[in-house]
Chains A and B, each alone.
Chain A
């Protein structure tokens, strides 16, 4: 048997940038372990549909220039941290110094915070399942550490904007770690953007740990261009009575992959995972989610919607694992898919592993097209084809868009959605 391919040596060169000692040490360790890591292939179950879109050319191994020019002009309300090509741009960032809340780039951490962070990094992820997160751990050049002391509340959403300048080919490894102590609260918005046209790979990892009763909302908006492959992983660990909410809105590209892994480790924990994915052209988008009910009496609710136009391809894989001791678990997973063209493809797969007997677990998946009768009803009132198609497609995701708790994200998503509708639906 042919051995599985491994990373080319170009990716194993030590990454640059100055980091505090403990983080450098961690990165080096992780790098050593990468040498014989098998890369995903068609035979790798969780990369079955996507491995052929993953292009790890040597050209992509290069670090990106620390501060590219041509930064996107961002006018974001509220608190923001701007990263460009994997490192923070302090001039573009603006966030408050709030008692009990640490918001700091990895590069600026003092040794004790850096040591504390180094101990935590990767502890929310099953790194066997998320191969590409291991590459991030070996190559991140900077990152954002957010630590909320007990009962600390960030009063406004914090935007983490990661921008690829696309002036050079290479890869970026944005990294976020959110440590939310008990009863603290934060809303973090991750926005992934790009300009330029050089091929780039973004390999991002975001981790959340929630203490007892912590309340964390994560909003993730992926809007990079056709030159960007984006592979992202989000790991979440929840203690008792904590609540985690995730709203992912993603637009397609040559490869978009997101692994979202939530572990409900304390009784009374609750998570809600919403996702909207829109693909067109030859784009590819793959969402893998995993919810582990480790402790008893937890609730999880997951709702994902894919819309695929043209020859694009969307994948949803939703795993729910209810451990033996997780009695009285309540898990609800729903995935609906809309094909806007006969050339589009959607693959959806629930994976249920239930080892406790007293649980409620419901799941459902559908794949359909726009309803012809509904369309006829709308146009019979004089509404144009494009508008009618748009209304019906929005109807498919409205409920999820409405739930996004940050208006600026809703607006940005709607603008991009309108472009998609204009490109997808012809005016008759």
Chain B
């Protein structure tokens, strides 16, 4: 489904990704771990098409189609979804309006009729229950004043509404309390499907108890330095990143939960 070959990307002239290779097949769940600042979010943002980052070399294809030729919104319509590490607050745009506009943009792209306000409200209420978010949040500004955990649940809610082909979850587990972690994991597991792939960035093995990945990769210094099965995550938890030749002072996870 997703194929990344020798991907280099830089920001303000500084190279952050230094030759990433990654193949993800439909139905698979891949986890990416790695020290702070190693480029995990950069990779996620580059996949979604954030123009802050310049791709200087390499290629990305989604089901054979060159992703780098597509604008962000076109990528989204082709099925790329990024749950942001730091979801953006947009006061003045209601969450409901935002979600409906997004869902209708996708429907229009697929040649389906738009959903009217009432139809959408019904759907949105159902999905908000699925992530245990009070429907009252639909009326608030996008992520405006949401707690960290509420923002993450709002991201998963969007994934559930938009039904992407590839869901990239950038630290969707950080900042969640134990109950919220359960809820989010349930949401992510609900996304698992034979025709969908999931790429999750995480610092914590505990998420991987709930969402069992097929592969775990270690991203360090802009490269994937090690790949393995889920047992790699356990090993990392125990031993840190030092044994992989990665600088040790960077190995403490950033966000405590």
List which A326-384 residues lie within 8 A (CB) of chain B: 372-374, 376-384
A74 close to chain B: CB less than 8 A: no
In the complex, how many angstroms separate the beta carbon of B4 from the nearest chain A beta carbon? 18
User: If A387-B105, A394-B92, A395-B90 touch, does A379 touch B72 (CB 8 Å cutoff)?
Assistant: yes
List which B42-89 residues lie within 8 A (CB) of chain A: 48-52, 71-73, 75-77, 81-82, 84, 87-88
User: If A381-B162, A382-B106, A384-B105 touch, does A391 touch B72 (CB 8 Å cutoff)?
Assistant: no
One of B5-13, B93-101, B227-235, B242-250 at the interface: B93-101
User: If A378-B98, A382-B109, A384-B105 touch, does A396 touch B92 (CB 8 Å cutoff)?
Assistant: yes
Which of these, A372, A373, A380, A387, contacts B49 with CB under 8 Å? Answer: A380
Query: What residue in chain B is nearest A373 (Cβ atoms)?
Result: B88
A323 close to chain B: CB less than 8 A: no
In the assembled complex, the Cα of A388 lies from the Cα of B73 at a distance in Å of 10
In the assembled complex, the Cα of A378 lies from the Cα of B91 at a distance in Å of 13
In the complex, how many angstroms separate the beta carbon of B142 from the nearest chain A beta carbon? 8
Q: In the complex, which range does the number of interface residues on chain A fall in?
A: 20 to 34
A282 close to chain B: CB less than 8 A: no
In the assembled complex, the Cα of A50 lies from the Cα of B154 at a distance in Å of 47
Which of these, A376, A380, A387, A395, contacts B101 with CB under 8 Å? Answer: A387
Q: Is the CB of A379 within 8 A of B71?
A: yes
Q: Is the CB of B76 within 8 A of A377?
A: no
In the complex, how many angstroms separate the beta carbon of A254 from the nearest chain B beta carbon? 31
Q: Is the CB of A382 within 8 A of B87?
A: no
B158 close to chain A: CB less than 8 A: yes
B20 close to chain A: CB less than 8 A: no
B102 close to chain A: CB less than 8 A: yes
Q: Is the CB of A383 within 8 A of B73?
A: yes
Contacts of B93 in A (CB 8 A): 391-392, 394-395, 398
In the assembled complex, the Cα of A394 lies from the Cα of B94 at a distance in Å of 11
Query: What residue in chain B is nearest A372 (Cβ atoms)?
Result: B52
A428 close to chain B: CB less than 8 A: yes
Q: Is the CB of A391 within 8 A of B101?
A: yes
Q: Is the CB of A395 within 8 A of B73?
A: no
Q: How many A-B residue pairs have CB under 8 A?
A: 79
Q: Is the CB of B102 within 8 A of A382?
A: yes
A99 close to chain B: CB less than 8 A: no
In the assembled complex, the Cα of A378 lies from the Cα of B72 at a distance in Å of 10
Contacts of B84 in A (CB 8 A): 377
In the complex, how many angstroms separate the beta carbon of A341 from the nearest chain B beta carbon? 19
Query: What residue in chain B is nearest A398 (Cβ atoms)?
Result: B92
Query: What residue in chain B is nearest A402 (Cβ atoms)?
Result: B92
A399 close to chain B: CB less than 8 A: yes
Q: Is the CB of B101 within 8 A of A374?
A: no
In the complex, how many angstroms separate the beta carbon of A225 from the nearest chain B beta carbon? 29
List which B91-130 residues lie within 8 A (CB) of chain A: 91-93, 97-98, 101-102, 105-106, 109
Q: Is the CB of A392 within 8 A of B90?
A: yes
A410 close to chain B: CB less than 8 A: no
Contacts of B105 in A (CB 8 A): 381-384, 387
In the complex, how many angstroms separate the beta carbon of B163 from the nearest chain A beta carbon? 11
A30 close to chain B: CB less than 8 A: no
16 additional A-B pairs beyond A380-B49, A391-B90, beta carbons within 8 Å, are A376-B51, A377-B90, A378-B90, A379-B76, A380-B48, A381-B101, A382-B73, A382-B105, A383-B73, A383-B102, A384-B105, A385-B71, A387-B105, A392-B93, A395-B92, A395-B141
What are 25 contact pairs spanning A and B, CB under 8 A? A372-B52, A373-B88, A376-B48, A376-B88, A377-B90, A377-B142, A379-B71, A379-B72, A380-B73, A380-B75, A380-B81, A381-B101, A381-B105, A381-B162, A383-B73, A383-B102, A387-B105, A388-B73, A392-B90, A392-B93, A394-B92, A395-B92, A395-B141, A428-B71, A428-B73
Chain B residues near A (Cβ < 8 Å): 48-52, 71-73, 75-77, 81-82, 84, 87-88, 90-93, 97-98, 101-102, 105-106, 109, 141-142, 158, 162
Nearest 3 interchain pairs by C-beta: A395-B92, A382-B76, A381-B102
